[in-house]
Amino acid sequence: MKTLSTKKLAETVKMLRETKGFTKEELGTITGINRIMIGRIEREDFIPSIIQFEALAKTLGFDITDMFVEKEKTNSFIALRSEALSDNEKEGVDKLFKMMLSMRQQIILRRKFENETEYNA
């Protein structure tokens, strides 16, 4: 699945703006986008609306579809597939699971204690 690359957009807008000799304010006037927002786009801190995106593409001369990249697959569940982990990562995952189990035991003990305190009161 393709997704918008804010990095690619930021680099493209800044490079083309400077190549064409526009200040942020000049580009903002032409596109109708506030100069502050142009700066935020260039810092990857703002995603323009579709209308703003089209205005930037038209003014600077880039193809909108070039700003989309194939979404990287994440390894959200890599911890469950131990063959994909290094020895150091496996050790970290083991520590994490031990901490989680310890916290669970503490919660269970705390609840028991709280229940006993209620009955003795």
Distance separating alpha carbons of residues 79 and 112, to the nearest angstrom: 32
Residue 80 three-state SS: helix
- How much is the average pLDDT of 52-61? 96
pTM greater than 0.75 (yes/no): no
Kindly tell me the burial class for residue 37, based on how many C-beta atoms sit within 10 Å of its own C-beta (0-12, 13-18, 19 or more).
Answer: middle
Helix axes 6-19, 35-42, angle to 10 degrees: 120
pLDDT at 74 (0 to 100): 56
pLDDT band of residue 117 (cuts 50, 70, 90) is low
pLDDT band of residue 17 (cuts 50, 70, 90) is very high
pLDDT at 118 (0 to 100): 63
Q: Is 33 left (phi over 0), alpha (psi -120 to 50) or beta?
A: beta
pLDDT digits 0-9 by tens, 91-105: 777 787 788 888 888
